[in-house]
Amino acid sequence: MKEADIIEKTKEPVTKKTLINELSKLNLKGEVVIVHTALSKLGWVCGGAVALIEALQKVITLEGTLIMPAHSGDYSEPKYWGNPPVPEEWYQTIREEMPAYRPEVTPTRGLGVTPEIFRKFPGVVRSDHPCLSFAAWGKEAEAITADHKLDYALGENSPLAKIYRREGKILLIGVGHDSNTSLHLAEYRAEHDLKIKIFGSSVLKNGKNVWTKYQDLEFNDDLFPAIGKDFESEHDYSTAKIGLTEAKLFKQKEIVDFAVDWLEKRGD
């Protein structure tokens, strides 16, 4: 959405102060929270993503933990690229020449401005997976992002599973369950048909760029909106008006467990 259109829809500026007041209604202090947001849905925010991140940090506090996806989809096997695809004759050049993933340098891709700015914030740490990393700030940030394995990046050794074990929360601000990364954890846990593929990324080994292969699932997030809709119809969750949009707060364990059952019954 163009900034002029956002300004036209906004009666008065959304500020860090108003964001703190609105987010405080969700009782996030000291919680482990993974956040997904579309900044433009909030209206015109004075300070943009910086104001939103600082507001989230203020209400969660250093006793809690703020997490966001920091995925870099272009640090992946080029033959699977579809948005947009590249010519097959480029594949080997990409594998040989792609700069190695470095948490402090490699940008996010396709996640919007907020996660990209968050990953560079003071005190934020980022996990080591070259394609499906997460960034975190707060008390459990180091523990949640540590030792992120290449294989099965959103499964049992992932930051998502660590959030689950800490009974964390999911906060969706102006986005739907198609953005709810935690539902991928259910894909690993459900007993249903899974396709396993070989992926690859450029990683740094002994100071050199090395194209490294690993295994993971072929994800199917097309089902996530239906899972989320059914969950919301059957379970309680918290909501709050944040700027011009609605925020929804879920217990991650509750919705992941629901999604496992949903996928086993209806996911094939």
Q: Structure tokens of 254?
A: 């509750």
Residue 3: how many other CB atoms lie within 10 Å: 10
Q: Structure tokens of 209?
A: 């760029």
Residue 10 has pLDDT above 80, yes or no: yes
CA 121 – CA 136 distance, rounded (Å): 10
pLDDT digits 0-9 by tens, 179-200: 999 999 999 999 877 889 999 9
Interhelix angle 252-266/224-234, rounded to 10 degrees, is 120
Q: Structure tokens of 56?
A: 């989230």
Residue 223 has pLDDT above 80, yes or no: yes
Question: pTM for the whole thing?
Answer: 0.95
pLDDT digits 0-9 by tens, 13-33: 999 999 999 999 999 999 999
SS3 107: coil
